Amino acid sequence: MLRLGTREFATHQPVIMAIVNRTPDSFYDRGATFAERAALERVARAVDEGADIIDIGGVKAGPGAEVDAAEEIRRTAGFVAEVRRRHPDVVISVDTWRHEVGEAACAAGADLLNDAWGGVDPRLAEVAARHGVGLVCTHAGGARPRTRPHRVRYDDVMADILRVTVGLAERAVALGVPREGVLIDPGHDFGKSTRHSLEATRRLDEMTATGWPVLVSLSNKDFVGETLDRPVKERLLGTLATTAVSAWLGAQVYRVHEVAETREVLAMVAAIAGHREPAVARRGLA
């Protein structure tokens, strides 16, 4: 059972995490939700479309203008408090690698800290433990935050993913993070080439076999774009195909830009797998 905030999710229940970037330079939406009003509208739409988690980020993942901890807190903490006020039942996640930001986010009402950079700040897990919130433990191949991979090599990429993510998860629980709130993430594109991300997807069942809930962040990423030779605004079909494969192999949480489309893909895969009944089943019965 995955427990985040006031919500509980059964083992085979797919969970959608909607991306809300409080940044002026995000790779996908180019700052469309930097302004608070636009960001709040995005949250409301995502919740209406079926998002279970809202993931709020204050710093672009890739290289760009410097954003210090104080500015990241300014972009996220007050917004977390307002989302909590407007949507008391939604799970609120904050995408950060900094313990200072995690502290402010938890004080404002966050339920989950999404550490996409693989524990580069070990104090972030301590913050999660102190506040009793969840933690995403991600494989980033040892990359420093906001850097791009360059000629990264692994003897076995999935073996490295498992070593790092399970190790981070076990450390988090030892520190006091609730075990039912810890997730592991293969970190598509983070410290990886396109071939590495494809292999991580292909072998995702090795992650789900660990028993830790698996989160995948696939939405419109470069490995999809390079695989299909598509620019960032034309990667939805590739993203949804990768989502379907990940669902079949047992991933549970999906960090996405397109909530409604993802929900339908996950519902279809769940029905094929026998975890969900068809919404309507009249064919051949009349």
Q: Which parts of the chain have pLDDT scores under 70?
A: none
**Contact (Cβ atoms closer than 8 angstroms) between residue 261 and residue 240:** yes
pTM summary value: 0.97
Which residues, including other chains, have CB under 8 Å from residue 145's CB and lie 6 or more apart?
Answer: 97, 117, 120
- For position 286, what pLDDT does the model report? 74
- For position 51, what pLDDT does the model report? 98
DSSP output for 39-61: HHHHHHHHHHTT-SEEEEESS-S
Q: Which residues are catalytic?
A: 221, 255
- For position 173, what pLDDT does the model report? 98
Which residues, including other chains, have CB under 8 Å from residue 215's CB and lie 6 or more apart?
Answer: 17, 136, 183, 184, 185, 251, 252, 253, 254, 255
Using DSSP, state whether 153 is helix, strand or coil.
coil
- CATH architecture of the domain with range 10-273: Alpha-Beta Barrel (3.20)
DSSP state for residue 214 in the 8-state scheme? B
Domain ranges of the chain: 10-273
Q: Which residue spans within 51-132 are E strands per DSSP?
A: 53-57, 91-95, 112-115
